[in-house]
Amino acid sequence: MKLEDIKTIYFVGIGGIGMSALARHFNSRGIAVFGYDKTETTLTKTLASEGMKIHYDDDISQIPEGVDLVVYTPAIPKSHGELNYFWENDFPVKKRSEVLGIISRSMKAIGVAGTHGKTSTSSILTWLLKVGGVDCTAFLGGIAQNFESNFIEGKSDWVVIEADEYDRSFLQLNPDMAIVLSMDADHLDIYGDHASMHQSFYEYLDQTKPGGFVFIKDGLRVPFNKVNITYGQFGIDSGGYRAENVRVEDGFFVFDFKSSIENIDNIKFTLPGKHNVENATAAIAVAQQLGIKGDDVKTALASFKGIKRRFERIFDQDGIVYIDDYAHHPSELNAAIGAARMLFPTPSGGGTGKKITGIFQPHLYSRTNDFQDGFAAALDQLDEILLMDIYPARELPMPGVTSKIIFDKMKNPNKVLVTKATLMDTLKERNVEALLTLGAGDIDTFVLPIKEWLERK
């Protein structure tokens, strides 16, 4: 099937962040887009306002006639009625990653891989390229606030794609440029062990097109030795593309960038945390290969507005700061909490300091079980923690696995177990100075109530 022959397309799970970007791509091409999702959200309402037809019941009677292609996400259970109807009636059915792969092979693709940092780096890179005059297309895993979308349409041959390791989806891609940000253990329900996950990353890099570029975080051990690929390493204080002299000035992170192509001093960056500086370094490395100059790099990073739910500052007044973040892995918690500590240093660190209160909702029973020690250690860095029940997403409960297995391993004495029903009342009993909501489940439904409570205080 040729994508240009599609007149009507149907998405099973259209409200997912990756699926909705793909739906927006087809909608922008004038193709009739229909879809199902389990619940109505702000994002699905936006898709509907853009002209897509969406329903929220697993009901085959709501499927339109003449569907040319069905796209689904692995997050949809195999028992789903509509999905089985399409399979049983021989409709063309493809995973989201397969369709993304077809699109990427028809363009010059930049694949951004890593267990953490994909969305931030892809969004930074997209903005960098746009400011520097490369009118790229992009499929993002979050809402980039410079574009207010997770799909950005461009007129050049270049496309920025998040190369997702879940379900080995990134093995559908053949990038012209490939980035690997991190390879921490995750998705062990899919891979079984860390070594198998690493092997998939190696296979992804091996699919880089001849004459292409590979950029890997300095320090990652990757057995990559293809002779027809240009290889580079990025990092902080190490690698051929590196950030140096990272500091905080007037609430912004500032750094100098060094490479054999061009050195760029005093880059002012809006996103907090050394992990985001590292992400920006990867983006600059790619941008330099496409001819982006230092002045445009500085303009882009100083004007980057961030991504929704990636250290997003929701409230900041009267000495109270509230930040919402998607962190759902111990490494991501360490990054978010570490960024907050750098922004609000203790008196011993040269600042006035703020007490940091965190609300964390674990995501998936399997991930909670696999990384319980790491979660406990990360959350112990907070001054106080409200720990919510596990958000199950696609999983059924696992015997003996609840938030309490993290709670019992924490050394922090200022810890409380809460549910969705008790969270707000428990929070209101606290004297909040710096507040973080953390997690990838439905904790975001509390962002507005928390903001409204802080505004009333």
CATH, residue 62: 3.40.50.720
Same domain for 164 and 289, yes or no, is yes
The CATH number that applies at residue 261 is 3.40.1190.10
Is 282 found in the same domain as 157?
yes
**What is the average per-residue pLDDT within 362-369?**
94
- The per-residue pLDDT for 78 is 85
- Among 243, 274, 302, the domain-final residue is 302
Q: Which H or E run contains 439? A: none
Of 302, 334, 356, which one is at a domain's C-terminal end? 302
Q: What is the pLDDT of residues 4-46, one digit of tens each?
A: 889 999 999 999 888 999 999 999 999 999 999 988 988 999 9
Q: pTM of this prediction? A: 0.82
Pair (122, 13) in one structural domain:
no
CA distance 13 to 73: 6
CA distances from 293 to 285, 289, 416 (A): 11, 10, 50
Return the pLDDT at 170.
87
173 plus 214 within the same structural domain? yes
Structure tokens at 41: 């959200």
The predicted-structure confidence for 372-428, as pLDDT tens digits, reads as follows: 999 999 999 999 999 999 999 878 899 999 999 999 999 999 999 999 999 999 999
227 inside domain = yes
Residues 6+ apart with CB under 8 A from 293: 132, 262
Cβ atoms of 141 and 17 within 8 Å: the answer is: yes
User: pLDDT (tens digit, 9 = 90+) per residue, 296-329?
Assistant: 999 999 999 999 888 999 999 988 999 999 999 9
- Residue 307 maps to a domain: no
Query: What is the rounded distance in angstroms from the CA atom of residue 46 to the CA atom of residue 140?
Result: 16
pLDDT at 190: 66
Give Cβ neighbours of residue 158 (< 8 Å, ≥ 6 apart). Answer: 107, 108, 109, 110, 129, 134, 136, 137, 290
**Least confident stretch, 242-256, 335-349, 441-455:** 335-349
Supply φ then ψ for residue 362, to 5 degrees. Answer: -60, 150
Instruction: Tell me whether residue 68 is in a domain.
Output: yes
Task: Identify whether 187 is part of a domain.
Answer: yes
Q: What is the mean pLDDT of residues 138-142?
A: 92
Cα 259 to Cα 277: distance, rounded to the nearest angstrom: 15
Residue 172 has pLDDT above 90, yes or no: no
Q: Cα–Cα distances in Å, from 336 out to 117, 275, 423?
A: 12, 9, 21
Higher pLDDT, 341 or 122: 122
Specify if 167 maps to a domain.
Answer: yes
Q: CATH number, domain at 327?
A: 3.90.190.20
Q: Which pLDDT band holds residue 187 (cuts at 50, 70, 90)?
A: low
Q: Which residues of 294-316 are buried (b: 16+ CB within 10 A; e: fewer)?
A: bebbbbbbeebebbbbbbbebbe
Residues 283 and 337 in one domain: no
Query: Pairing relation of β-strands 32-36 and 53-55?
Result: parallel
Does residue 297 share a domain with residue 316?
Answer: no
Residues 246 and 336 in one domain: no
Question: Is the same domain home to 53 and 151?
Answer: no
Question: Count of alpha carbons within 13 Å of 65, Cβ hemisphere only?
Answer: 0
Question: Is residue 298 located within the same domain as residue 318?
Answer: no
What span, in angstroms and rounded, lies between the C-alpha atoms of 264 and 269? 13
Mean pLDDT to the nearest integer, 276-290 = 97
With respect to residue 100, please indicate whether it lies within any of the assigned structural domains: no
Work out the average pLDDT over 123-147: 96
The residue from 246, 273, 302 where one domain ends is 302
Same domain for 323 and 290: no
Residue 357 belongs to some domain of the structure: yes
Token pair belonging to 381: 């860095």
Question: Residues 167, 201: one domain?
Answer: yes
226 with 321, same domain: the answer is no
Write out pLDDT tens, residues 207-237. 999 999 999 999 888 876 777 899 999 999 9
Residue 151 domain boundaries: 107-302
Report CA Rg, the chain.
22
Residue 101 lies in a domain: no
The 3-state secondary structure of 126-148, one letter per residue: HHHHHHCCCCCEEEEEEEECCCC
The structural domain count of the chain equals: 3
